[in-house]
Structure 1
């Protein structure tokens, strides 16, 4: 009912206060002290910006990823059920694009992220991540393909990454994919949740709980830290967001267990600790490990307890909301809405909660004018455009 009311407000073009819920952080699950003051619970602010929301499309089944097409061509949107759709700039939502890979659409599995190749205007190449069904389970996979001029089908589908080994648990796939400034691709892969599988996040011969760096054809680039391996960094849990900042650095965000969601800036060869250390605890209340810091493991730039259950994220840039340029906008699945972080010198200095009445936000896409789109993760999901009121 709440989602229906908010959808009506948005469709009517009425404004929603930036932080209508009067949010407070609430009680922690663990009592591990932060490693440095800026790592936890930055000052909560209310920027007093009134947000205007407009539903561009509804009726999407758990939309997961979105990519902006050039020259006003609209957007590509994935549905976790296994579809890729074209949403035109005028709001027309076209039928399923043919030729996409078969997916395992169970629990957290399905069609996941979508991104355009940097040379898309000439090559028509796109990349998808998805839960690939295999004879002995499923795996996070990334595929390269060519989108037809009429956007009705894809051709030449070729996997450029398939996680190994397969898992029988349809959870914690990751997975975002995005081009890096040097022409390679970053792919995030989760560790499939169960206690025995999560240990694989520490194993270099397995691609669970990793950030991967590959060439556009899937080969291993020069400069990767482990010879012949696509692994860029390890010790991640379930990284479902990734973004590049203005300096060209990669940032990721990952789900913790009960507490312990993390914002990281993954560096080559570094180990981010899961499941040896964590600022969260198991869902039954038992500890993950004896501490949240240990020698040989990197600390997150920032963590949350309680969680925000992060989805996709993006660095803001544009004329609209110009005061937020350089800030991170992060989709939150629980408690919902958008989390805005201001960073200075690589540290989080303030946090704001926006649009919490929208509920589960799976992805955020910044548009050229500074307005932004959010995807709401429901069986009747929406693409919502956000602009400043007035």
Structure 2
């Protein structure tokens, strides 16, 4: 009787999921499965690099064949921490440089995000990252396992952008002597561009060097920024998790302060209120705020032709919302225009070389996180 009930429930779930897929504007094809996948990046030949939180990096073909990459950094796995994002240098075709973000242990139980780069070397069926070098470390390292952020993004000028979460410590997001709760801009080797907004500051009508301010900082007042993308006009957008309510999509501007934890359109998890953005006009206001939350985990701006009507729109991966959220831009404004229910927590979304969408599910209790390929349904 119990087995019959379980079988019935499974059958109902499969039927409901299939019915939900019938309403989607794309075909969903399962390619492979992973152990806590977090991010992916496409190699020039169409294969993918896929990260798993426990510390594995894999090369994956579009048919789902996998091979392990060696030479990985020591990853501090636990909670929200582990191996995170992967990005290719803009000149990867010639220099083979791969960038990884991950949680790094410190002395006395503290930890923080770090970014390393290495050269991808493929010798027959063996691959490894060689000459691995740490080029950035979140400061300071703190106790806890949450809010690393650590998304990576290169722009057209080959600057490296890093999203750095507040590590659930609140006040460091406003502290200019900390890199937590910030969006950072670096050269590809981790050095600081001389034209970053806080390399110098104005004091007594003169510019002077200030060693106390982190010169990597581009913007501040962020909570847990987990998606970064440039729109087709070159504007940088960041999507981040709010507290209890108040997920945000922000247009990132030079030296802007986005207010956390002084303001938020959500509240603390224990019920304590946080002043809304409207109460503090000196802080930048989100382009979109979500309550109930979508729990954004990643974001791209679609540039392909396969989904022709989506070109220039953002696609955000939703965890608690179990959806892909499509967002349309209009200058400095943005609007959610559609939500595609996926029936699972969505960890990452990426655009393939031919314009197909590739999606990583977050690992679920009863199964691995799947790699899905999305293509338009035939008309």
1:235 aligns with 2:210: no
Over 3 Å counting, the alpha-carbon distance change for 1:121 and 1:202 in structure 2 is: same
Greater RCO, 1 or 2 (C-alpha within 8 Å, sep 6+): 1
Q: Name the structure with the higher strand share.
A: 2
1:344 aligns with 2:330: yes
Given the alignment, which residue of 103, 114, 123 partners 2:75? 103
Structure 1: state its 5+ residue gaps. Answer: 20-48
Q: How do 1:39-118 and structure 2 match up within 5 A? A: 49=25, 51-58=26-33, 60-72=34-46, 74-94=47-67, 96-118=68-90
Contact kept in structure 1, 2:21 and 2:342, CA below 8 Å: no
Q: Aligned partners of 2:10 and 2:167: how far apart in 1? A: 32
Contact kept in structure 2, 1:236 and 1:274, CA below 8 Å: yes
Compute the displacement of 1:5 (Å): 5.8
Q: Aligned partners of 1:163 and 1:4: how far apart in 2? A: 46
Structure 2: state its 5+ residue gaps. Answer: 1-8, 200-213
Contact kept in structure 1, 2:20 and 2:341, CA below 8 Å: no
Which residue does 1:205 correspond to in 2?
A: 177
Which residue does 1:32 correspond to in 2?
A: none
Q: Aligned partners of 2:179 and 2:10: how far apart in 1? A: 40
Contact kept in structure 2, 1:17 and 1:355, CA below 8 Å: no
Return 370-379 or 285-294, whichever deviates more. Answer: 285-294
Compute the displacement of 1:325 (Å): 0.7
TM-score where L is the length of structure 1: 0.85
Contact kept in structure 2, 1:85 and 1:93, CA below 8 Å: yes
1:271 aligns with 2:246: no
Contact kept in structure 2, 1:330 and 1:364, CA below 8 Å: yes
Contact kept in structure 1, 2:163 and 2:182, CA below 8 Å: yes
Contact kept in structure 2, 1:78 and 1:112, CA below 8 Å: yes
Q: What CA RMSD, in Å, does the superposition of the two structures yield over aligned residues?
A: 2.2
Return 113-122 or 82-91, whichever deviates more. Answer: 82-91
Compute the displacement of 1:90 (Å): 2.5
Contact kept in structure 2, 1:170 and 1:192, CA below 8 Å: yes
Q: How do 1:340-379 and structure 2 match up within 5 A? A: 340-357=326-343, 359-378=344-363
1:244 aligns with 2:230: yes
Contact kept in structure 2, 1:202 and 1:274, CA below 8 Å: yes
Compute the displacement of 1:17 (Å): 3.5
Q: Aligned partners of 1:310 and 1:377: how far apart in 2? A: 12
Compute the displacement of 1:266 (Å): 1.1
Which residue does 1:16 correspond to in 2?
A: 21
Q: Aligned partners of 1:369 and 1:296: how far apart in 2? A: 43
Given the alignment, which residue of 115, 125, 132 partners 2:97? 125
- SS for the counterpart of 2:170 is helix
Over 3 Å counting, the alpha-carbon distance change for 1:2 and 1:258 in structure 2 is: farther
- SS for the counterpart of 1:122 is helix
Compute the displacement of 1:265 (Å): 1.5
Compute the displacement of 1:9 (Å): 7.5
Q: Give the total of aligned pairs.
A: 350
Over 3 Å counting, the alpha-carbon distance change for 1:341 and 1:290 in structure 2 is: closer
- SS for the counterpart of 2:286 is coil
- SS for the counterpart of 1:375 is strand
1:232-261 Cα distance to aligned partner (Å, 9 max, x none):
100000001111111222111100001110
Contact kept in structure 1, 2:183 and 2:218, CA below 8 Å: yes
> Larger Cα Rg: Structure 1 or Structure 2?
2
Q: Aligned partners of 1:3 and 1:155: how far apart in 2? A: 48
Q: Aligned partners of 1:208 and 1:176: how far apart in 2? A: 13
Compute the displacement of 1:344 (Å): 1.9
TM-score where L is the length of structure 2: 0.88
- SS for the counterpart of 2:171 is helix
Over 3 Å counting, the alpha-carbon distance change for 1:234 and 1:141 in structure 2 is: same
Compute the displacement of 1:89 (Å): 2.5
